[in-house]
Amino acid sequence: MLIDTHIHSDTRGLEDLELMAMCLDGVITLAHDPFEMKNVKVWEAHVEKLLNGEIERAKKVGLNLFVCVGMHPRAIPPEVDEALNKIRDYINHDKVVGIGEIGLEKATKEEREVFIKQLLLAEESKLPAVVHTPRRNKEEITKIILDEISTLNLKNSNIVIEHCNKETVKWALDAGFYAGLTVQPGKLTPLEAVEIIKENKDFANKILLNSDCSSNPSDVLAVPGTVLKMKIEGIGKEIIDKVSQKNALELFNLKV
């Protein structure tokens, strides 16, 4: 069984969803930044498309699609509190498995406020939170993210720090959170992900693999491809199973 924990299905053609359905037992699609969120209605239309259109479209080709809802740091509408109330409704949907993707892009005051509000909402609703870290200034912004989280004294440590690199993965794991490894051009190669997993094998129960496939150059088969590389590199079955399915099934309570 294989799970891709972070995709953006609404950016991919049906052929790609079908390819994923052939190789994966479940995928999680997350709210992101397809438009400038000029007002809350634009943001709502995006999230509702994931909940209605995307679940149906995936079903047609046999892909088991789960959804995370939230405000991406590059897609914050002006009416933040209205959007938060909407998230409270959306999480009742039986395919919603988390809040995301949230996080920081430039760490502006507005981004931080919206990030904190969504972390508190995840805590209150006992759902995992999926936290984006940016390509630019990844180290600096990841530090700010971890600082912001630590000041909240959350009981919920079901937080995924996404798109970790060789360095930030250690910070996320040391802080007690999950680390998402994204195998995508410009992020990690399959072999780099394998190296990170080898180096952090004591934390194998906190690592999640994904493709983040989007409108950027992506590999929709990044998870099966990396699993193959792990086998070639001699990583044990137990670790492979954890990072490619078991951790995701437990954290997001996926019914596959």
Q: Which residues contact Zn ion (rule: CB under 5 A)?
A: 212
Residue 206 is given by DSSP the state G
- Cβ closer to Zn ion: 200 or 211? 211
Least separation in angstroms between residue 187's CB and Zn ion is 10
Name the minimum Å distance from CB 123 to Zn ion. 22
Which of residues 31 and 87 has its CB atom nearest to Zn ion in the complex? Answer: 31
Q: Any idea what the Cα angle at residue 250 is, between residues 245 and 256, rounded to 5°?
A: 60
Q: Which two tokens stand for residue 181?
A: 């490894």
Q: How far is the CB of 130 from Zn ion (least distance, A)?
A: 8
**148 or 212, CB closer to Zn ion?**
212
For residues 232 and 96, what is the distance between their CA atoms, to the nearest angstrom?
35
Rg value, the chain, Cα: 17
Q: How far apart are CA 27 and CA 136, in angstroms?
A: 26
Query: Are 71 and 116 within 8 A, CB to CB?
Result: no
Smallest separation, CB 50 to Zn ion (Å): 12
Question: How far is Cα 123 from Cα 129, in angstroms, rounded to an integer?
Answer: 8
Q: Cβ-closest residue to Zn ion?
A: 212
Residue (121 or 160) nearer to Zn ion, CB: 160
Find out whether the peptide bond into 101 is cis, omega within 30 degrees of 0.
yes
* Smallest distance, Zn ion to C-beta of residue 238, A: 28
Which residue, 40 or 160, has its beta carbon nearer to Zn ion? Answer: 160
HSE-up (13 A, CA, CB side) for residue 169: 27
| Residue 221 CB contacts under 8 Å (≥ 6 apart), including other chains | 19, 20, 23, 211
User: What is the closest distance, in whole angstroms, from the C-beta atom of residue 215 to Zn ion in the complex?
Assistant: 11
Task: Select 209 or 235, whichever has its Cβ closest to Zn ion.
Answer: 209
Rounded to whole angstroms, the Cα distance separating 135 from 141 reads 10
| Residue with Cβ nearer Zn ion (4 or 212) | 212
Minimum CB separation of residue 161 from Zn ion in Å reads: 13
Alpha-carbon distance 199 to 128, whole Å?
25
